[in-house]
Amino acid sequence: MNDIVVLVKASLNPDMVRVGSDGSIDLASIPLKISDIDRNAVEEAVRLKEVLGGKLYAISILTWGPVASRMKDLKLAVQEALAKGVDEAFVVADDSLTPGDQATTASAVKEVLSKEGIKPALILAGEATIDEVTSQVPGRLAALLGYQYLSFVRKLELSGGKIIAERDLEDYIEVVEADLPAVISVTQEINEPRPPTLLQIRRASRKPIKELRAGDLPGIQMPLRKILGIKGIQVTRKQVIIEGSSMEEIADKLIDALIQEGVLKI
């Protein structure tokens, strides 16, 4: 009961979106990468592992298929967590679960825990993942497991089996005290994640990654959401670089351009 679980998502990389001339987006062509805020969750989990003294597991559920072409990115994301100090990882990848939704992800995590007999004291996750930014999975998971849920935590202390956390809520900061077990979502302010060293990366290649399919998880909730369409939003910015022989000339040209656009009145 001293174990910690950290959730890691291989997210669609929003920096690599290409919108076709007809506004179409091919999701399968967008590479996956570890969601930025998950790095903070991993960093915090490694720190707390020293306090609790148990094992640290990472669980990753593949949301975006097809599995065959996504396994490499998924494993890279998980290997980063292993390199940072996670002991063992579980990945769930099954074409029947993609494209996934947040209900499926939360229930898959619950099923992995029960199948593997893991009863974590703490489950850590990022406050949101970079592709959909819904902040849903940790809260859903807490509800499914009957755990306490501390959302948007930007400062965390653990002593004597109690958590003291600062939550960054909508219009104020809440300091709360809670017992274990708990699900905690962290914000980027909680720490400064350090990239793993080469030695850590090399050692991580020997750590186990267990692959599971939908059939291994009998109670899993199949995706309820059906994606009907993804449309690229074409932002057609003019991309005019204003040039000139002096700063004065450039400044004048910029002012002229803004007047011309009707957004600056002089």
**Which residues within the stretch 16-75 sit at the binding site for another protein (CB under 8 A)?**
17, 19, 25, 30
Residue 47 CB, shortest distance to another protein, in Å, is 19
d(CA 158, CA 64): 35
Q: Nearer Cβ to another protein, position 28 or 169?
A: 169
Residue 125 CB, shortest distance to another protein, in Å, is 11
Return the residues of window 208-247 that contact another protein according to CB under 8 A. 221, 224-233, 235, 237-242, 247
Amino acid at 32: L
Residue among 62, 65, 20, 63 at smallest CA distance from 230: 20
Q: Nearer Cβ to another protein, position 206 or 226?
A: 226
Adjacent-strand bridge partners of 88: 57
174 neighbors 166 (Cβ within 8 angstroms): yes
d(CA 70, CA 59): 16
Q: Nearer Cβ to another protein, position 206 or 237?
A: 237
Amino acid at 35: S
Return the residues of window 104-123 that contact another protein according to CB under 8 A. 106
- For the chain, state the CA radius of gyration: 22
Return the residues of window 190-209 that contact another protein according to CB under 8 A. none
Q: Which two tokens stand for residue 9?
A: 């998502």
Q: Nearer Cβ to another protein, position 121 or 150?
A: 150
Residue 158 CB, shortest distance to another protein, in Å, is 15
